Amino acid sequence: METLFTKIINREIPANIIYEDDQVLAFHDIAPQAPVHFLVIPKKPIRTLNDLAEEDKALAGHLLLTAQRLAKELGCEEGFRVVMNCNELGGQTVYHIHMHVLGQRQMHWPPG
């Protein structure tokens, strides 16, 4: 099933894109929860973290390294938070896996 993020990948709806390669896309979150808040998604439409498979190991690593590199490029080298919400109980609203990267403010624990 096509999600909002597939439409962003296919340029059917606009997004403020930061980075793209053959495997991943990163763009600013439309409702930022911190001065820096962007999402890193695989182009492969994986619904939730529960659906990640052994064959996706390299892709998962690439998502993390992309998050790390872009966080640095956007001035978050002193610290940032990476969040992946899984399913309704985890707070997921878009069923195409994505990493939230938040930075440039003090983060607190526990999250809401």
Q: How crowded is residue 51: how many other Cβ atoms within 10 Å of its Cβ?
A: 12
Regarding 93 and contact with ligand AMP (CB under 6 A), the answer is yes
From the list 26-34, 50-58, 62-70, 72-80, the region that binds ligand AMP by CB under 6 A is 26-34
Regarding 17 and contact with ligand AMP (CB under 6 A), the answer is no
Residue ranges of the alpha helices (H) in 10-111? Answer: 57-73
User: 28 catalytic, yes or no?
Assistant: no
Q: Which of 37, 98, 100, 108 is catalytic?
A: 98
Question: How far apart are alpha carbons 60 and 55 in whole angstroms?
Answer: 10
Active-site residues: which are they? 98
**Which residues contribute to the site for ligand AMP (CB under 6 A)?**
4, 13, 15, 27, 29-31, 85, 91-94
